[in-house]
Amino acid sequence: MNLDILQEPFQLTQAQIEFYKQNAFIKIKEVLPPEVLEHINTIISTKVEELNTQDIPLEERDTYGKAFLQIFNLWTQDEEIKEILFSKRLAQLASDLMQVDGVRMYHDQALFKEGGGGITPWHADQYYWPLSSDKSITLWMPLQAVPSEMGPLEFSAGSQHILTGRELSISDESETKIGEKLRLTDCPTVSEPFDIGEVSFHSGWIFHRAGANTTDQTRKVMTVIYMDKDMTLKKPENDGQVNDWETWCPGVEIGSVIDSHLNPVLFTR
Quick one: pLDDT at residue 61?
A: 73
Domain annotation covers residue 259 = no
Quick one: pLDDT at residue 52?
A: 86
Mean local confidence (pLDDT), 142-149: 98
> CB–CB of 209/170 below 8 Å?
no
Residue-range definition of the domain harbouring residue 124: 23-232
Quick one: pLDDT at residue 65?
A: 64
Domain annotation covers residue 103 = yes
Domain annotation covers residue 63 = yes
Q: pLDDT tens across 30-72, in order?
A: 999 999 999 999 999 999 999 987 777 767 777 766 666 889 9
> CB–CB of 40/48 below 8 Å?
no
Confidence of residue 245 (pLDDT cuts 50, 70, 90): very high
Mean local confidence (pLDDT), 179-196: 95
Q: How far apart, in Å, are the Cα atoms of 244 and each of 131, 171, 241, 258?
A: 10, 18, 5, 12
Quick one: pLDDT at residue 120?
A: 94
As to burial, measured by CB atoms within 10 angstroms (0-12 exposed, 13-18 middle, 19+ buried), residue 68 is buried
Share of the chain above pLDDT 70, in %: 97
Domain annotation covers residue 70 = yes
CA distance 135 to 206: 12
Q: What is the pTM (predicted TM-score) of this model?
A: 0.95
Confidence of residue 20 (pLDDT cuts 50, 70, 90): very high
Domain annotation covers residue 10 = no
Domain annotation covers residue 248 = no
* Rg, Å, the chain Cα set: 17
CA distance 10 to 90: 8
> CB–CB of 126/225 below 8 Å?
no
What is the SS3 assignment for 212?
coil
Quick one: pLDDT at residue 54?
A: 76
Q: pLDDT tens across 210-239, in order?
A: 999 999 999 999 999 999 999 999 999 999
As to burial, measured by CB atoms within 10 angstroms (0-12 exposed, 13-18 middle, 19+ buried), residue 164 is middle
Domain of 183, CATH number, reads 2.60.120.620
* Residue 257 scores a pLDDT above 90: yes
Q: What is the rounded average pLDDT for all residues in the chain? A: 95
Q: pLDDT tens across 98-125, in order?
A: 999 999 999 999 999 999 999 999 999 9
Instruction: Tell me the three-class secondary structure of 16-29, residue by residue.
Output: HHHHHHHHCEEEEC
Domain annotation covers residue 202 = yes
Domain annotation covers residue 269 = no
Q: In total, how many domains does the chain have?
A: 1
Mean local confidence (pLDDT), 184-195: 95
